[in-house]
Amino acid sequence: MNFTPITMNTTGENKTVKYYVRSWRKEEKTIGFVPTMGALHEGHLDLVRKARETCDKVVVSIFVNPLQFNNPTDLEKYPRNLESDVEMLVKENVDLIYAPLPMEFYPTPPNVSLDFGKVSSVLEGEMRPGHFSGVGIVVARLFHIVEPHKAFFGAKDLQQVAVIRNLINDLGFDIELVRCPTKRETSGLALSSRNKRLSESGKKTAAEIFAGLQLAMAGLEEFGFEEAKKLARQHLEKYPEIKTEYLEWVNPENMEILSSTSQQKNPAICIAAWVEGIRLIDNLLSEN
């Protein structure tokens, strides 16, 4: 196919998406899916390219999911730029872009809520009540519509990946979850749609978040979880513009918080921090 069908902001588009994906499945084509909330950057494009490399067809969704925002201002200020998103995706040769209207995606407000247990009760789950329920509902609905063989998620949202793994296993989706490494600016700042709201100097300061994580990871073997975490904290404290919300070592598979007595071969260190009123998250995996 040498054009990208774009189904956006029209009624009945779920049916259009289903029509395409079902015809591809009949032809035994593999379908790779990249769910996004738009405001695309190189991190998203990297997921799209990974999908392109390993699947016959690539579907990208663009939908700012109101259910996963516990803060109305955050939802309102979330960057949106559908036109340039579509332009970027057409250049990547994706096979289908699905950008539904909220009214169509949720014809009636969902009554269900999802509880992922321990994996979602800490870090983001603790700070943003209801967030992972909203993520789970939107991703499950998208999976039903797109019926992908593989779904691609960025490791920057490490806890989200763990939640989606549970969603797939617990609800029996026959989908392979692919976790892709975090893409970063040369400064180390993790790419995020939220970075668009930072000033140039804010971006420079925010890069120190990753520097802190690197210090902790470098010190882990010698000093252990608690002392290594202190190394990161000491670094971050040099930048009063960075307000750390949490900084924790976790088991990246189930998000169990690790302390001095824990045994974990491949831990990750996770952070949420505020810079210029923007909430940023990042993490560093020991296996990367």
Q: Which of residues 204-233 bind ligand PAF (CB under 6 A)?
A: none
The residue whose two tokens read 């259009």 is 16
Nearer to ligand PAF, 35 or 125 (CB): 35
For residue 258, state whether it binds ligand PAF (rule: CB under 6 A).
no
Question: Residues 65, 166, 192, 251: which binds ligand PAF (CB under 6 A)?
Answer: 65
Q: Do the bridges between strand 268-275 and strand 243-250 make them parallel or antiparallel, or are there none, so unpaired? A: antiparallel
List of residues 6+ apart from 5 with CB closer than 8 A: 16, 20, 95, 96, 97
Taking the CA atoms of residue 107, residue 85, residue 1 and residue 104 in that order, the dihedral angle to the nearest 10 degrees is 0
For residue 192, state whether it binds ligand PAF (rule: CB under 6 A).
no
In contact, 153 and 161? CB cutoff 8 Å: yes
Active site residue 44: yes
Using CA atoms, how far apart are residues 44 and 25, in angstroms rounded to an integer?
25
Nearer to ligand PAF, 163 or 217 (CB): 163
Question: Residues 89, 96, 123, 139: which binds ligand PAF (CB under 6 A)?
Answer: 139
* Number of residues counted as binding ligand PAF (CB under 6 A): 10
Using CA atoms, how far apart are residues 219 and 93, in angstroms rounded to an integer?
43
Question: Residues 157, 208, 248, 282: which binds ligand PAF (CB under 6 A)?
Answer: 157
Helix (H) or strand (E) holding 154: strand 150-154
Q: Which of residues 33-52 bind ligand PAF (CB under 6 A)?
A: 35-37
For residue 251, state whether it binds ligand PAF (rule: CB under 6 A).
no
Question: Residues 138, 146, 217, 284: which binds ligand PAF (CB under 6 A)?
Answer: 138
Stretch that binds ligand PAF, among 29-37, 91-99, 218-226, 256-264 (CB under 6 A): 29-37
In contact, 213 and 283? CB cutoff 8 Å: yes
Task: From the candidates 41, 44, 131, 149, give the one annotated as an active-site residue.
Answer: 44
List of residues 6+ apart from 238 with CB closer than 8 A: 208
Nearer to ligand PAF, 32 or 35 (CB): 35
What DSSP state is assigned to residue 42?
Answer: H
Backbone angles phi, psi at 101, to 5 degrees: -80, 150
- What is the closest distance, in whole angstroms, from the C-beta atom of residue 263 to ligand PAF in the complex? 31
Using CA atoms, how far apart are residues 67 and 188, in angstroms rounded to an integer?
30
- What is the closest distance, in whole angstroms, from the C-beta atom of residue 17 to ligand PAF in the complex? 15
Question: Residues 135, 190, 216, 275: which binds ligand PAF (CB under 6 A)?
Answer: 135
Nearest to 207 by CA among 181, 241, 180: 241
Q: Which residues bind ligand PAF (CB under 6 A)?
A: 35-37, 65, 68, 135, 138-139, 157, 160
Annotated catalytic residues are 44
